[in-house]
Amino acid sequence: MNESAANPGPSRADAVEHLRRHAAGVLGADGRFSEARYVLDAEGRPVAFGPRGWLDAESLVLFVPADQPDALELLVETEPIDGQSAEADRWRIYHRRSDEPLCIRMRLIAGKFRGQVFDGDDLAAPNPCAAFEAAVCRWMNQQHRSDLAAICRRFNRIEIDEALMVGLDPAGFDIRARAGIIRVKAPRRIAHEPDARAILEEMCRQAQGVLE
């Protein structure tokens, strides 16, 4: 059997999920590297607060995350956006505050993931859960906030405090803690809002030891 057929490379969906699964990377701007904590806008493009140099650089590569040999490498172009925009507000929900002066959107030109090359337009994908993401996060934070730390303990084997659910997509959800953003994988794909609520309630019961 052909080795490439037996071990196919990652798909576009794999690369998109990898980008969604993280909330920080390192941006190389003309060879100078700095942390880039990001969120994704409605079209799946990273948004971050950063320095003027990110706008003026001729070469920009975002590594997500930076500390893994199979990091997603993204060639990007940047543009400034309003620091009071919905995208900037979403960034603050995830990351609280920044000392950097500019809110910057990154347009994806091309990407490389585990040896596979992708066109940037294929990697910028809207979140199918966006229409009900805010409602589900609000419901969890109002009705099940005390369960979020238990969920991280049960499913991620980590202890956190000050837990707040801040994001949701088909593969999982994001919890903001004092230590940063914690990604929790859903046990199955989330297709719609009732599905999301059912999965999260099931995970809450499992975290409480009610359902094994």
Strands lying side by side in the sheet with 180-185: 164-169, 172-177, 180-185
On whether residue 85 sits in a domain, the answer given is yes
153 lies in the same domain as 188:
yes
Q: In this predicted model, what pLDDT tens digit does every residue of 159-169 receive, in sequence order?
A: 988 899 999 99
- Would you state the structure tokens that stand for residue 25, as one six-digit string? 């990377």
**Of 92, 123, 154, which one is at a domain's C-terminal end?**
123
pLDDT at 107 over 50: yes
**Model confidence at 208, in pLDDT bands (50, 70, 90)?**
confident
State the CATH number of the domain containing residue 191. Answer: 3.20.180.10
18 phi-psi bin (left φ>0, alpha ψ -120 to 50, beta other) = alpha
35, 68, 32: which is closest to 49 by C-alpha?
A: 35
On whether residue 100 sits in a domain, the answer given is yes
pLDDT at 113 over 90: yes
Q: What's the pLDDT at 70?
A: 84
pLDDT at 7 over 90: no
Does pTM top 0.75 for this prediction? yes
43 lies in the same domain as 144:
no
| Bridge partners, 85 (sequence order) | none
Q: What's the pLDDT at 159?
A: 92
100 lies in the same domain as 195:
no
49 lies in the same domain as 118:
yes
Q: In this predicted model, what pLDDT tens digit does every residue of 171-181 receive, in sequence order?
A: 999 999 998 99
139 lies in the same domain as 99:
no
| Domain with 195 in it | 130-207
| Residue 158 CB neighbours (<10 A) | 11
**Model confidence at 1, in pLDDT bands (50, 70, 90)?**
very low
Distances (CA, A) of 124 to 104, 114, 155: 16, 18, 28
